[in-house]
């Protein structure tokens, strides 16, 4: 029997994706797979639990066990858009390890992602990753075919929905409030998300999440590296504080969908 596995980040899109799969195949045939990073706003945890309860499914949560600060300290390096090892360590590796074990007994799987038709790049990347998952390297580097049949599906594309459509459905039809992070940020990622190269985003973190921003400053001091080439985070905070009510002085847009949200 085919098992349907929803990659559940706990954002609006993956929540609708989970509902779509449950509605179509029944909750007894669905696994809600979430890999925690322990670095998100606490209200994101509240939202995930409410959605899981609404769907009547308990989350399956393979984990690394560390948060982003512990990963940074252990790696003595800052993650970035170009070296997103935080995503690799906290999200992808636990997911892939779990899938590897699960496919030993369950051969036919469909993985569901909350990507919309507006995100063709993410869909292509994820489809390529799944193809790569079908192969295992043995000693000597020779590929060994993994006979598990793993495919992907993108329900938002099939229903032609955007992230905002999902938010509207969840709040008005399900009666579940969205995480407070959506009032400030575009995405429900870790705070801060080191994959963002937007100074506007980091200025928002400085204003709305000062404790986490200070941890990022401390991480720069600890590693001896800076997130931006032209200024430290401490300098960015000082500049943002001067114009604390004018965060739009930073022209970049903080639209950085992260693989953390699958």
Tokens at 108, concatenated: 């036919």
Please state the pTM of the whole predicted model: 0.84
Contact 16, 161 (CB under 8 A): yes
Q: For residue 62, give both structure tokens.
A: 């393979």
Task: Find how far residue 83's CA is from the centre of its chain.
Answer: 15
How do residues 171-196 score in pLDDT, each as one tens digit? 999 999 999 999 999 888 899 999 99
Contacts of 227 (CB under 8 A, 6+ apart): 78, 80, 194, 202, 216, 220, 233
Cβ distance 130 to 152 under 8 Å?
yes
Same domain, 43 and 97: yes
Shared-domain flag, residues 66 and 192: no
Residues 8 and 87 in one domain: yes
Q: Are residues 99 and 208 in the same domain?
A: no
* Nearest-angstrom CA–CA distance, 80 and 60: 28
Tell me which of 84 and 158 has the higher pLDDT.
Answer: 84
Type and span of the H or E element at 158 = helix 155-158
% of the chain with per-residue pLDDT over 90: 66
Q: Which of 120, 148, 180 is the endpoint of a domain?
A: 180
Q: What is the pLDDT, as a whole number, of residue 121?
A: 72
Same domain, 36 and 134: yes
Instruction: Identify each DSSP E strand in the chain by its residue range.
Output: 3-7, 30-33, 59-60, 108-112, 135-137, 143-145, 149-153
Q: Specify whether 87 is located in the same domain as 203.
A: no
Is residue 29 classed as helix, strand or coil in its secondary structure? helix
Same domain for 165 and 60: yes
CATH for 168: 3.40.50.620
Among residues 53, 256, 20, which one has the least CA distance to residue 161? 20
| Domain shared by 46 and 145, yes or no | yes
Last residue of a domain, one of 128, 149, 180: 180
Distance CA 2, CA 128 (A): 21
Residues 44 and 124 in one domain: yes
- Percent of the chain past pLDDT 70, that is, above it, reads 83
CB-CB contact of 145 with 42 (8 Å): no
Total number of domains constituting the chain: 2
User: Which of 48-57, 103-112, 140-149 shows the lowest mean pLDDT across its residues?
Assistant: 140-149
Q: Would you report the helix, strand and coil content of the chain in percent, each value rounded to 5?
A: 50, 10, 40
Instruction: Using alpha carbons only, give the angle 146, 98, 145 rounded to the nearest 5 degrees.
Output: 5
C-alpha to C-alpha distance for 244 and 248, rounded to whole angstroms: 10
CA atoms of 154 and 17, how far apart (whole Å): 8
Of 154, 180, 206, the position where a domain reaches its end is 180
Q: Are residues 58 and 147 in the same domain?
A: yes
Whether residue 65 sits in one domain with residue 92: yes
Q: Are strands 135-137 and 143-145 parallel, antiparallel or unpaired?
A: antiparallel
Q: Whole-angstrom Cα distance, residue 36 to residue 62?
A: 8
Query: Tokens for 248?
Result: 């739009």
Q: Looking at the structure, do residues 131 and 28 belong to the same domain, yes or no?
A: yes
pLDDT tens readout for residues 61-117: 999 999 999 999 999 999 999 999 999 999 999 998 998 888 887 668 899 999 877
Q: Which has the higher per-residue pLDDT, 254 or 172? A: 172
CA distances from 92 to 27, 89, 99, 179 (A): 24, 6, 10, 23
- Domain encompassing residue 94: 3-180
């Amino acid at each position: 029997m085919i098992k349907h596995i929803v990659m559940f980040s706990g954002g609006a899109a993956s929540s609708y994706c989970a509902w779509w799969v449950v509605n179509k195949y029944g909750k007894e045939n669905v696994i809600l797979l979430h890999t925690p990073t322990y670095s998100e706003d606490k209200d994101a945890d509240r939202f995930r639990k409410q959605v899981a309860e609404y769907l009547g499914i308990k989350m399956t949560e393979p984990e690394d066990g560390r948060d982003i600060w512990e990963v940074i300290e252990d790696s003595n390096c800052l993650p970035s858009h170009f070296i997103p090892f935080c995503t690799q360590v906290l999200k992808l590796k636990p997911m892939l390890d779990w899938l590897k074990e699960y496919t030993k007994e369950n051969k036919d799987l469909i993985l569901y992602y909350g990507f919309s038709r507006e995100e063709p790049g993410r869909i292509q990347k994820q489809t390529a990753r799944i193809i790569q998952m079908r192969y295992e390297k043995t000693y000597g580097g020779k590929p060994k075919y993994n006979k598990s049949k793993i495919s992907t599906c993108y329900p938002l594309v099939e229903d032609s929905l955007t992230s905002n459509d999902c938010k509207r459905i969840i709040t008005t039809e399900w009666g579940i409030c969205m995480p407070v992070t959506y009032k400030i940020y575009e995405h429900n990622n870790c705070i801060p998300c080191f994959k963002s190269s937007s100074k506007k985003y980091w200025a928002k973190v400085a204003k709305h999440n000062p404790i986490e921003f200070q941890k990022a400053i401390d991480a720069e001091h600890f590693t001896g590296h800076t997130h931006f080439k032209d200024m430290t985070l401490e300098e960015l905070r000082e500049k943002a504080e001067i114009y604390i009510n004018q965060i739009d002085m930073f022209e970049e847009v903080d639209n950085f969908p992260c693989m953390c949200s699958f």
